[in-house]
Structure 1
């Protein structure tokens, strides 16, 4: 067989035998001609299918769809779809020939004679041959309405999946998919699932991780209780399918964590009330000025601060953000502020043994070096002497209050003695409550880091970054980082600092005149968030006593 219009039609020999030239050849039931149009194969397939369909018409007297549709699928359709991936028709006339066979078959069914072809296919659950060849069956399967799927599931549970597939003229796989998605299936152990769901909700409210394995083990443990014994004789096995159905029935899903949040303690209200009583007690005793009430916090930072989002073209599968490769090298920034809106100079602790001798750092920021890049007891004492003791009013030995967290370097005896010599009362935030009472964490750290990230992005886009020999970006110099930190901290408005102290109920007026501005901000606990007015009531009780 010579293929192609420009073929020179050479003759070939096999030994001394001359090979004959043929116009078409049949292999594995598929007829191929020299023009490769597949029209001859379509004619052969249509002829065989019509012959079988005519035999069915003459032999079978019934015209019910329950009889003719299975016969069509078993005896006629294979002739039209055998190896169709290879000989799929090229011309519209060939497609029409194949489709006419199915049109004829559907018109044979009683009650379908006067319906359109598309309507007949919808009623019988069939698809056009063209769409079957184009692999669009999966998209069309979703067009089944809910009532039809419920009928399929009901019939399958009364009989079996194969019987339901034959009854409704669909695939057995579609029956299984309908049963998986059916919302009407009753649980075998409803009481157990109810208590198990309550356990999952309680764990998530407390911030604990709940996995499929954890649900499996918890269900097995609960099944040993007599009150969960089912009326059915089957034994509870807590299989993977049971876990999947349990998650689906109760509107649960597996999600990737968004952040590692600090777990709030169970005695949240009690600890907040105790801390507020401590603040109010010493404020009444020493009458601290707003300029003598401060807050200090250490926050880790990195040399690279890339944003998680960027504008790019629609449909981009890979979104790259260029950095200097130092997004995991940390240093520490110590921020502190006063209740009157003043901001104390920031302290930057870099992870290195010594600072460069010839490098000049900007005024208004204190830069130091530490082998671990973090604050310890000696660094804390140095901060008290260089920053806290330099605040306005410190030279007059005015009584002051310093609010900070329970970091171990804040609770040593030497640090307490240094603070006592400075006439400073240390208010230590209870463990687990920094996300509630640490005003720098609640209000100021995010805008500070946003400003710092903006400066880093401008530096990367400006082309000012130095390059290595391999043409990679070098990390920014530490004096430049110190300048960014200074500018970012200075740009924080004083009004924001004042409101932060009032929001955390540290500098509120003791006469209650500033309580109206308190917003609803406290996180939820056990499904019932503590609203701002409730938190304000706690502050009022601590200030005046229980009503």
Structure 2
């Protein structure tokens, strides 16, 4: 069985740093390559837009030179569009990437349970799923907390790791500012850093955490409970440290913020899940 989930990320309040992340894992605990969608402007020339979509996953020639190496470096797929949001074109690529080459495609169906999101069920996506012998089923919006393995066990530890990375970055910046005796100015993570954070947080999840999500949703049987203790950082301690270092103003500049949002999907008789969100 497979579970899928998208994550929307807004870093530093800057639209250019917004990203959507799709993660997938199966009921054996195996995690699959991330699908990321980053924001990039569209050309005003229709032919160029089509060329970018066909040859470079939505990116222009120059930007693709920077983005393509990130795919190999972090073992993920990266797409670009003006909204940094999931769409049916990427959904079709997602299905083909994960399910087109499986050896038992002609004889065995895969059940894919994913969130009730319009781009997941367009005519193009539904037709592609049928071609690949993938059965699509919606998870009711108010039941993901008990039916979506990602919501049940995966997201919390993933978000915890992302927070740790962001806090570590802030602390380094404060330390550097003090050592240089300069005015502190918080810098949002650059694109390569953002991609690394997301992939590290995802692949850092243990096999036990992944399988426990399926077990808690009663999708597979599990004899023993899995320890899901998540190490957290006390935000009060972090805030106190920043105040002490004059890194906190009376008002919060939106360019100094990070925000994440998650969407879900499951599939299987191996079950997969996709994740997207940070908050």
Q: TM-score, normalised by structure 1?
A: 0.33
Q: Distance in 2 between matches of 1:454 and 1:416?
A: 39
* Contact map agreement 2:4 2:114 (CA 8 A) in 1: yes
Q: Distance in 1 between matches of 2:176 and 2:130?
A: 47
Residue from 115, 122, 127 that aligns with 1:412:
122
Q: Structure 2 vs 1, CA of residues 345 and 449 (structure 1 numbering), >3 Å: closer, same or farther?
A: same
More strand by share: 2
* Contact map agreement 2:74 2:195 (CA 8 A) in 1: no
Shift of the alpha carbon at 1:352?
1.7
Q: Distance in 1 between matches of 2:24 and 2:164?
A: 22
Could you tell me which residue of structure 2 aligns to residue 489 of structure 1?
A: 202
CA deviations 1:91-150 (Å, max 9, x no partner) are xxxxxxxxxxxxxxxxxxxxxxxxxxxxxxxxxxxxxxxxxxxxxxxxxxxxxxxxxxxx
CA deviations 1:311-348 (Å, max 9, x no partner) are xxxxxxxxxxxxxx659963211111111111111111
Q: Structure 2 vs 1, CA of residues 302 and 358 (structure 1 numbering), >3 Å: closer, same or farther?
A: same
Could you tell me which residue of structure 2 aligns to residue 345 of structure 1?
A: 33
Considering only CA atoms, is the larger Rg found in Structure 1 or Structure 2?
1
Shift of the alpha carbon at 1:515?
7.5
Shift of the alpha carbon at 1:414?
1.9
Shift of the alpha carbon at 1:438?
1.3
Equivalent residue runs for 1:128-277 within 5 Å: none
Could you tell me which residue of structure 1 aligns to residue 148 of structure 2?
A: 438
* Contact map agreement 1:459 1:465 (CA 8 A) in 2: no
Q: Structure 2 vs 1, CA of residues 476 and 465 (structure 1 numbering), >3 Å: closer, same or farther?
A: farther
Runs of 4+ in 1 over 3 A off after TM superposition: 325-330, 387-390, 463-467, 470-474, 514-518
Could you tell me which residue of structure 2 aligns to residue 386 of structure 1?
A: 97
Could you tell me which residue of structure 1 aligns to residue 3 of structure 2?
A: 295
Q: Distance in 1 between matches of 2:191 and 2:145?
A: 30
Provide the aligned length of Structure 1 versus Structure 2.
197
Shift of the alpha carbon at 1:377?
1.0
Q: 2:194 is paired with a residue of what secondary structure?
A: helix
* Contact map agreement 1:404 1:429 (CA 8 A) in 2: yes
| Higher-RCO chain (CA-CA 8 Å, sequence separation at least 6) | 2
Q: 2:32 is paired with a residue of what secondary structure?
A: coil
CA deviations 1:475-520 (Å, max 9, x no partner) are 2211111111111111100111111011112234xxxxx48869xx
Q: Structure 2 vs 1, CA of residues 418 and 357 (structure 1 numbering), >3 Å: closer, same or farther?
A: closer
Q: 2:33 is paired with a residue of what secondary structure?
A: coil
Could you tell me which residue of structure 1 aligns to residue 74 of structure 2?
A: 363
Q: Structure 2 vs 1, CA of residues 471 and 333 (structure 1 numbering), >3 Å: closer, same or farther?
A: same
CA RMSD in angstroms, aligned pairs only: 3.1
Q: 2:22 is paired with a residue of what secondary structure?
A: strand
Q: Structure 2 vs 1, CA of residues 464 and 333 (structure 1 numbering), >3 Å: closer, same or farther?
A: farther
Could you tell me which residue of structure 2 aligns to residue 98 of structure 1?
A: none
Could you tell me which residue of structure 2 aligns to residue 334 of structure 1?
A: 22
Q: Distance in 1 between matches of 2:100 and 2:135?
A: 13
Shift of the alpha carbon at 1:379?
1.5
Q: Distance in 1 between matches of 2:147 and 2:166?
A: 30
* Contact map agreement 2:2 2:113 (CA 8 A) in 1: yes
Equivalent residue runs for 1:15-26 within 5 Å: none
CA deviations 1:244-294 (Å, max 9, x no partner) are xxxxxxxxxxxxxxxxxxxxxxxxxxxxxxxxxxxxxxxxxxxxxxxxx11
* Contact map agreement 1:347 1:367 (CA 8 A) in 2: yes
Residue from 190, 211, 217 that aligns with 1:504:
217
